[in-house]
Amino acid sequence: MTAPPRLALAGISKSFPGVKANEDISLSVRPGEIHALLGENGAGKSTLVKIIYGVQQADAGAIAWDGETVAIPSPRAARRLGIGMVFQHFSLFDAMSVIENIALGLDEAVDLAELKVRVAAILQSYSLPLDPDRAVHTLSVGERQRIEIVRCLLQKPKLLIMDEPTSVLTPQEVERLFSTLRQIASEGCAILYISHKLHEIKALCEAATILRGGKVVATCDPKIESAKRMAELMIGAELRQIARRPGGGAGAIRLQVENLTLAGEPPFGTALRAVSLAARAGEILGVAGVAGNGQSELLTALSGERLAGSGAAILLDGRPIGLEGAGARRALGLACVPEERNGHAAVPDFALADNALLTARHRLPLAPLGIIARGEVERFTQAVIRRFDVRTTGPGALARSLSGGNLQKFVMGREIGQEPAVLVVSQPTWGVDAGAAAAIRQELVDLAAKGSAVVVISQDLDELLELADRLCVINEGGLSAPRDVAGLRIDEIGLMMGGMRGVDAQAGGAAHA
């Protein structure tokens, strides 16, 4: 007779307004197993993990722990069961020492001297290099992660959840982390390892559950399954190839980026490394890539929120604009829509009319001589609301009162309504329902058809394949050469996104391990 699984999920479902984040998810993890949870961003990994860790409650389904059905109402309850979690972003106080931070993270009050002994024992037995008395702000990211791991190990966990732990680590730190995780697993602790990096999963995990669109699409053994096959499963093998729109693409270059290099913003920013691209009138250029590989940095560098080192690094219709600010660039015809709607593309506490003013005042006469022309602003806002079918009470409604999809339609409409020469947009349909997403995509296609150049940065490959004429991949701050979408195979893109450039690497898979 075999022991019951450490954790078994059966039929877990969770909906948020407008999205089914998890739908009928079942998986089980044995003691000592390192189990990968694989999926693109938005596939439902974080929601599932939050349910396991008691941060959120499932709408339906059952959780069994060592064979017994349990309820996990809070993270504290999860920790009592023996579930530990290391988050992607750490919760540490920079000004305090390692040991103080560990003490603060524990549920019960402990004697600091006694804690020190226990921590020292853990550091010793897992041979983790970490000085308990150092102040956190002096530590590297890898060392900070070790604090979180030690925090979990102190609770003698039976299940350890690691949320994209390597996204902030150097390759050497990744190696060290893996050997620590293997040791933890060998002592009988189950590990749920969340990632979308295929080579890591092949190197570390014995089982993988692949999520897509909130559902389990496959369970496999990553040591046997090829990286190519897993990429297909993750991205969606049933993906239909969209018939290309005729024409398009042959126009003059409207936006040109030449060797743009920009340091990342601390602490988690990705540096842009010699990015070059050219977007032509009438075409949609897609930029694919896994989150956190420099997408937001590319967008802020193009929008003018961060200036390029030289004017000639960015050319708009041949004119150097690398040193122009966001307002000047928009006046010249370069409009951008960042990924984050709340607080970046729009101000949640402002009315829609005030949000229209935010970026439309450079190209439209909304505030001549610095005096706000309320009538003009209202008219423009009303026009955007009508044309893009934004469901709202009117220009006076607060942006925060709109659903994500409606606000996105408004933000897209605000920029497209200004008829920009170039539109750069990141995640145009993120968290938007299917109907609104289709409308937004149609507007992008129409804008390009009118002679603008459109750059779409997205993690949604379906979307890029549907929209883009040419596609490049951003990876660790570098941008690949564009390829015509027509001749491109999905698995090629998938492997490039996962960090394994070129198709030749697919057989090996362990090249990076």
Partner 1 sequence: MLEWRRRREPSAAMLYASPLIAVALTMLIGVAVFTAMGYPGAQAVRDIFLTPFLEPQRWPDLGVKAAPLVMIALGLAIGFRANVWNIGAEGQYIVGAIAGTGVALATHGMTGWWILPAMAFAGILGGMAFAAVPAFLRVRLGVSEILTSLMLTYVAVQGLYYLVRGPWKDPDGFNFPQTRLFGADQTLPVLAEGSLVHLGIPLALAIALVAWLVLEKTTAGYAVKVVGLAPQAARHGGFRADGVTWACLLAGGGLAGLAGLFEAAGPFGQLTPQFPSGYGFTAIIVAFLGRLHPLGIVFGGLALAATYVGGEIAQTTVKLPQAATGLFQALLLFVLLATDVLVTYRIGWKARAA
The verdict on 338 binding partner 1 (CB under 8 A) reads yes
Rounded to an integer, what distance in angstroms lies between the CA atom of residue 426 and that of residue 455?
A: 8
Cβ partners under 8 Å of residue 24, min gap 6 = 11, 12, 13, 61, 215, 216
Number of residues that bind partner 1 (CB under 8 A): 32
Q: Which CA distances in Å does 8 have to 25, 57, 147, 355?
A: 10, 16, 28, 47
Helix, strand, or coil (residue 362): coil
Q: Give the one residue of 346, 397, 448, 497 binding partner 1; rule: CB under 8 A.
A: 346
Which of 109-117, 119-127, 148-156, 360-368 is the region at the interface with partner 1 (rule: CB under 8 A)?
Answer: 360-368
Q: Give the one residue of 286, 304, 404, 420 binding partner 1; rule: CB under 8 A.
A: 304
359 or 458: CB nearest partner 1: 359
The verdict on 87 binding partner 1 (CB under 8 A) reads no
The verdict on 74 binding partner 1 (CB under 8 A) reads no
User: Closest separation between CB of residue 303 and partner 1, Å?
Assistant: 6
User: Closest separation between CB of residue 264 and partner 1, Å?
Assistant: 16
Q: Tokens for 214?
A: 């909130």
Q: Tokens for 233?
A: 């499963």
User: Closest separation between CB of residue 318 and partner 1, Å?
Assistant: 22
303 or 429: CB nearest partner 1: 303
Beta bridge partners of 280: 253
Which of 38-46, 169-177, 358-366, 472-480 is the region at the interface with partner 1 (rule: CB under 8 A)?
Answer: 358-366
Q: Give the one residue of 349, 446, 484, 504 binding partner 1; rule: CB under 8 A.
A: 349
What residue has token string 């599932």? 48
What residue has token string 């941008």? 479
Asked whether the beta carbons of 392 and 406 are under 8 A apart, the reply is yes
User: Closest separation between CB of residue 319 and partner 1, Å?
Assistant: 17
Q: Give the one residue of 362, 363, 483, 501 binding partner 1; rule: CB under 8 A.
A: 362
Q: Give the one residue of 347, 383, 488, 513 binding partner 1; rule: CB under 8 A.
A: 347
80 or 400: CB nearest partner 1: 400
The verdict on 330 binding partner 1 (CB under 8 A) reads yes
The verdict on 295 binding partner 1 (CB under 8 A) reads no
The verdict on 363 binding partner 1 (CB under 8 A) reads no
The verdict on 344 binding partner 1 (CB under 8 A) reads yes
Rounded to an integer, what distance in angstroms lies between the CA atom of residue 304 and that of residue 335?
A: 10
State the helix-helix crossing angle for 434-449 and 404-416, rounded to 10 degrees: 10
Q: Tokens for 481?
A: 């050469």
Tally of residues, the chain: 513
Rounded to an integer, what distance in angstroms lies between the CA atom of residue 371 and that of residue 244?
A: 46
71 or 252: CB nearest partner 1: 71
DSSP 170: -
The verdict on 354 binding partner 1 (CB under 8 A) reads yes
154 or 337: CB nearest partner 1: 337
Phi then psi dihedrals of residue 320, to 5 deg: -70, 125
- Strands 453-457 and 314-316, sheet pairing: unpaired
Rounded to an integer, what distance in angstroms lies between the CA atom of residue 81 and that of residue 189?
A: 13
What residue has token string 């694919």? 288
248 or 348: CB nearest partner 1: 348
Helix, strand, or coil (residue 95): coil
292 or 304: CB nearest partner 1: 304
User: Closest separation between CB of residue 488 and partner 1, Å?
Assistant: 32
Phi-psi map region of 356: left, alpha, beta (phi>0 left; psi -120 to 50 alpha):
alpha
Rounded to an integer, what distance in angstroms lies between the CA atom of residue 421 and that of residue 314?
A: 14
24 or 305: CB nearest partner 1: 305
Beta bridge partners of 159: 83, 190
102 or 345: CB nearest partner 1: 345
Interface mask (CB under 8 A) for partner 1, residues 369-398, using x and -? Answer: -xxx-------------------------x
Q: Give the one residue of 168, 277, 336, 500 binding partner 1; rule: CB under 8 A.
A: 336
User: Closest separation between CB of residue 350 and partner 1, Å?
Assistant: 7
Rounded to an integer, what distance in angstroms lies between the CA atom of residue 415 and that of residue 392?
A: 18
Least Cα distance to 204 among 84, 65, 53, 38 occurs for 38
Q: Give the one residue of 67, 73, 327, 508 binding partner 1; rule: CB under 8 A.
A: 327
Positions 396 through 455 that interact with partner 1 (CB under 8 A): 398, 400-401
Q: Which residues bind partner 1 (CB under 8 A)?
A: 303-305, 325-328, 330, 336, 338, 340, 343-350, 354, 357-359, 361-362, 367, 370-372, 398, 400-401
